[in-house]
Amino acid sequence: MKLYNIKDNQERVSFAQAVRQGLGRKQGLFFPETLPEFDNIEQLLSESFVARSSKILSALVGDELSPEQVNSMVEAAFQFPAPIKQVKEDVHALELFHGPTLAFKDFGGRFMAQSLAAVSDGGRITILTATSGDTGAAVAHAFYDMDNIDVVILYPKGKISPLQEKLFCTLGKNIHTVAVNGDFDACQALVKQAFDDEALRQEIGLNSANSINISRLMAQICYYFEAFSQLPESKRDQVVVSVPSGNFGNLTAGLLAKAMGLPIKRFIAATNVNDTVPRYLDTGEWSPKPTIATTSNAMDVSQPNNWPRIEELVKTKGWALEMLAKGAVTDEQSAQTVKELDDLGYLCEPHGAIAYRVLDDQLEDGETGLFLCTAHPAKFKEVVDEILQSDIELPAPLAKHASMPLLSSEMENDFSSLKLLLRKVASQ
Ligand SMILES: *Cc1c(COP(=O)(O)O)cnc(C)c1O
């Protein structure tokens, strides 16, 4: 697999380098030079999740890793299903929250851990990542107790749900969690600054596990295929996919799936009121506003860092950006939608509900709608219980962590403090 840096096309890297480095020069994202295209999609869809995903990922990785090796990585990473559930006629939920941390980020996080282990030269690695809640949990659990790898996770203090925090800030060992006085964009900016510091990068073997790491996006391509495999063949050419978006990694992966031959008719980019992308698609002007805290906090991102990949893909495929439909949903509307779905007999949390809202508003006759449910409702128990006046049950992994003490440290939104902390972790 060959990738280039979107900001500096001269920089070319292998899959191994892209996984190890995360970001390229000038904070540029890596993008595949070529994308394999499958011509016999029906045949591919008839295979099992693991077998099919191994083929997709092996085609992407190319000859850097053997198909057997990729297969065993996929077997280790994808140990839980991605079922679709019919919510009403022609509308299905794609449930991506059956992994150990109950959000779709388990797919990317776990495959990235496998990838990094596969390409590692045995040296020490420090993974630094910023999270708006769910990435942190997925990455922490995926890398927990791995040899020679330390994980440092920055998150906005007081801006993630208490249960989310419990899920990844209670592990200890090689997992170091840091509550930063600032919002998610501030955490993300600190991470980028660290990657820009070449000396620091070398010194502590810095790596990222954000959705900027290409291995995470690659893993996510696979569940779009999996969703299609569960739809009746007669419906597969009219599928509209609605993606609740924050950093836009999930939507990037969906577009990559389409580029590889999956016949997705069109996409909807659904956001909360942090609507930089919907406004951009409307006006052509990129004008991020300060981030606003919402009940769908994993999408409280106003400077989505995967967006350049979407532009790049659309450009290289000769697609029109107009093929992306969009919609932004307020907290009131998403709460209303959680109720609406509950009346349909489907328990959903705000992120998934936002995707459903825009999909249901825009779905046309004859189309089949698929909305991505990115987190288990219990992961947002406080919000969901308040909306539905319910007391939903915690699944086992959450219940276990809910009673454990928090192990996070606190930090000002300040790069020199981060440097100190990283050096301390790496020297232990
Ligand atoms: C991360 C996350 C999102 C946003 O996904 P992106 O790939 O960043 O757009 C949506 N919902 C949940 C529950 C998440 O954790």
Q: Strands of 368-373's sheet, edge to edge?
A: 84-88, 91-95, 368-373, 239-244, 266-271, 324-328
Looking at residue 211, its pLDDT comes to 63
Looking at residue 383, its pLDDT comes to 95
- pLDDT, one tens digit per residue, over 156-193 is 999 988 888 999 999 999 999 999 999 989 999 999 89
Q: Provide CB contacts within 8 A for 109, sequence distance 6+.
A: 101, 135, 138, 139, 141, 142, 143, 209, 216
Q: Is the separation of the CB atoms in 90 and 367 below 8 Å?
A: yes
Looking at residue 210, its pLDDT comes to 66
Atom of ligand 1 nearest to the CA of 220: 7
**Rounded percentage of the chain residues whose pLDDT exceeds 70:** 99
Q: 246 CB under 6 A from ligand 1?
A: yes
Tell me the CA–centroid distance for residue 287 and ligand 1, in Å.
21
Helices (H), 288-349: 307-317, 331-343
Looking at residue 22, its pLDDT comes to 84
The C-alpha atoms of residue 224 and residue 226 are separated, in whole angstroms, by 5
The C-alpha atoms of residue 370 and residue 103 are separated, in whole angstroms, by 17
- In angstroms, the Cα distances linking 76 to 15, 126, 261, 385 are 19, 22, 26, 34
User: Among 187, 310, 351, which residue has the most ligand 1 atoms within 8 Å of its CB, making it the best to mutate?
Assistant: 351
Q: 350 CB under 6 A from ligand 1?
A: no
The C-alpha atoms of residue 199 and residue 203 are separated, in whole angstroms, by 6
Q: Name the packing angle between helices 105-119 and 67-77 (round to 10°).
A: 140
- pLDDT, one tens digit per residue, over 283-294 is 999 999 999 999
Looking at residue 94, its pLDDT comes to 98
Handedness of CA 91, 46, 266, 275 (dihedral sign): positive
The C-alpha atoms of residue 44 and residue 52 are separated, in whole angstroms, by 6
The C-alpha atoms of residue 368 and residue 84 are separated, in whole angstroms, by 12
Domain architecture of the chain: domains with CATH = 64-101+214-394 (3.40.50.1100)
Q: Is the separation of the CB atoms in 190 and 213 below 8 Å?
A: no
Q: Is the separation of the CB atoms in 309 and 31 below 8 Å?
A: yes
User: Among 104, 165, 220, 301, which residue has the most ligand 1 atoms within 8 Å of its CB, making it the best to mutate?
Assistant: 104
Q: 106 CB under 6 A from ligand 1?
A: no
Tell me the CA–centroid distance for residue 311 and ligand 1, in Å.
19
Torsion of CA 300, 132, 399, 357, to 10 degrees: 30
Taking only the tens of pLDDT, the chain with its 428 residues reads 999 999 999 999 999 999 988 888 888 999 999 999 999 999 999 999 999 999 999 999 999 999 999 999 999 999 999 999 999 999 999 999 999 899 999 999 999 999 998 998 888 889 999 987 778 888 899 999 888 899 999 999 999 888 889 999 999 999 999 999 999 899 999 998 998 898 998 899 888 776 689 999 999 999 999 999 999 999 999 999 999 999 999 999 999 999 999 999 999 999 999 999 999 999 999 999 999 999 999 899 999 999 999 999 999 999 999 889 999 999 999 999 999 999 999 999 999 999 999 999 999 999 999 999 999 999 899 999 999 999 999 888 788 998 999 999 999 999 999 999 999 998 88
User: Among 163, 187, 247, 324, which residue has the most ligand 1 atoms within 8 Å of its CB, making it the best to mutate?
Assistant: 247
Which SS3 state, helix, strand or coil, does residue 266 take?
Answer: strand
Q: 211 CB under 6 A from ligand 1?
A: yes
The helix or strand, by DSSP H or E, that contains position 359, with its residue range, turns out to be helix 350-362
Looking at residue 233, its pLDDT comes to 95
- At 369, the amino acid letter reads G
Tell me the CA–centroid distance for residue 59 and ligand 1, in Å.
26
Looking at residue 27, its pLDDT comes to 84
The C-alpha atoms of residue 135 and residue 154 are separated, in whole angstroms, by 10
Cβ neighbours around 382 below 10 Å, total: 11
The C-alpha atoms of residue 374 and residue 350 are separated, in whole angstroms, by 10
Q: 160 CB under 6 A from ligand 1?
A: no
Q: Which of 253, 226, 230, 240 is nearest to 105 (CA)?
A: 253
Tell me the CA–centroid distance for residue 244 and ligand 1, in Å.
7
The C-alpha atoms of residue 417 and residue 148 are separated, in whole angstroms, by 23
